[in-house]
Structure 1
């Protein structure tokens, strides 16, 4: 059962999904001098952005994750750093123009924590990154 699909229409009236771009980590490229540069696979996405609850903020603070933080609901299965599977470091980018809210326009966010993961959607904590 696709719960995100069932609820997104109703919740979207109050807080709509906005277009975004997911950059899924594809590892890194090592230069001859040994410097590593991350590489990404870019995919279109849509995200619903919300404020974090007090409990979620407390949890992230306990993990020493600070900065500008939000919660994002995304279709699909996305990752924060998952060292065992050599995965993670996925990023979320928002366009520099409408229909993205002005507070998100042209921003880049790192997925820093997974709150919920299901076969067809996930809820993640994202942290604003310097461009």
Structure 2
């Protein structure tokens, strides 16, 4: 049973899914100066960003994570930092509100992960110009 699909039928009536770019972390390269540069694999996905619930905020507070956050439901095996795999965390690119420009959000916490969908917490990043 695909619970995400069932729930999404109802939630998207109130909060529609939106397109996003999923920048999946696939490791890093080492530049000539010895610094690491993350490497990503991009794909287009549909996400359902929502406000972060009070319970989740209380949990995140204990992790000392701050900033503009969203709770995101989407299909895929989205990951935060996985040090043992030498991955630096996935990024999602989507607007903060529908009429605003695309911004970069970093996956900081994986709340739920299932074989075909995930619920993650993302934090808005300072995009470099």
CA distance in 1, matches of 2:16, 2:73: 11
Aligned residues between the structures: 127
1:120 aligns with 2:116: yes
Structure 1 unaligned regions, length at least 5 = none
Q: Corresponding residue for 1:7?
A: 7
Normalising by structure 1, report the TM-score: 0.89
Q: What SS does the corresponding residue of 1:74 show, helix, strand or coil? A: strand
Q: What SS does the corresponding residue of 1:84 show, helix, strand or coil? A: helix
Q: Corresponding residue for 1:22?
A: 22
CA distance in 2, matches of 1:113, 1:83: 14
2:38–2:88 CA contact under 8 A, matched in 1: no
1:1-131 equivalent positions in 2, closer than 5 A: 1-94=1-94, 101-103=98-100, 105-131=101-127
Deviation readout 1:71-107 (Å, 9 max, x if unpaired): 00010111011223333410000269xxx7125x311
TM-superposed deviation, 1:55? 1.4
CA distance in 1, matches of 2:59, 2:7: 26
Q: What SS does the corresponding residue of 1:26 show, helix, strand or coil? A: strand
CA distance in 1, matches of 2:26, 2:68: 25
Moved over 6 A (4+): none
CA distance in 2, matches of 1:31, 1:75: 33
Q: What SS does the corresponding residue of 2:81 show, helix, strand or coil? A: coil
Q: Which has the larger share of strand?
A: 2
